[in-house]
Amino acid sequence: DSDRLADAMQIVVSQDYCVKCHAMGDFVPEGSPRGLAPDLGMVHKRLRAGDVQRWIARPNGILAYTAMPQIVPYDEAKPYLGAEQTQKLFHGTSPETVDALVDLLMNFDDYAKSRASVSGLVAESKAAKEAAAKEAEAAKEAEAVKEAEAVKEAEVVPEKLPEIEGKQTEGL
């Protein structure tokens, strides 16, 4: 169960999800204090699990004008029931992902006592995302070099063509 919460924490600390707007534990996102979303580390003290579950599953279903996106959409027709984008961080269906996030938030005080700081986890997540972006860029550059070499080689071939054609017609 602790692995499940650790995996859910990967969604929370990802720069693409919760910590983009929410404070949690010893982490506070950059930006204006007025633009910050509620502190997720305090959810277990202020809300009931069922309310948190409904909110995470479909925030605009509770508050139509909320700025919070639906991070774990539900769609029966899609793989993982819609939780495709979070699969790198948490392996489960949309309902399983929402349940794990709720369990993490409702037990954050106990979970946090046994783990590293949230700021450290956010920094690790950010570094991993940057490394993946650099790796993708390097692969893109390598592909461009490969393509350039292929074009250069294709330019050389036509120069040899008259020589090859001449040898083929000599015996005729």
Average pLDDT, the chain: 80
Find all residues with CB under 8 Å of 106, minimum gap 6, and list them. 43, 44, 49, 52
- Residue 37's DSSP bridge partners are 22
Predicted TM-score (pTM) of this structure: 0.64
For residue 164, pLDDT beyond 60? no
Pick the residue with more confidence: 51 or 69? 51
Mean per-residue pLDDT, 148-170: 62
Phi, then psi, of 70 in degrees rounded to 5: -85, 100
DSSP secondary structure of 85-132:
TTTTT--S-HHHHHHHHHHHHHTHHHHHHTS--HHHHHHHHHHHHHHH
Q: Render pLDDT for 81-132 as a digit per residue (tens, 0 to 9).
A: 767 777 777 778 888 889 999 999 999 888 877 765 677 777 777 777 788 8
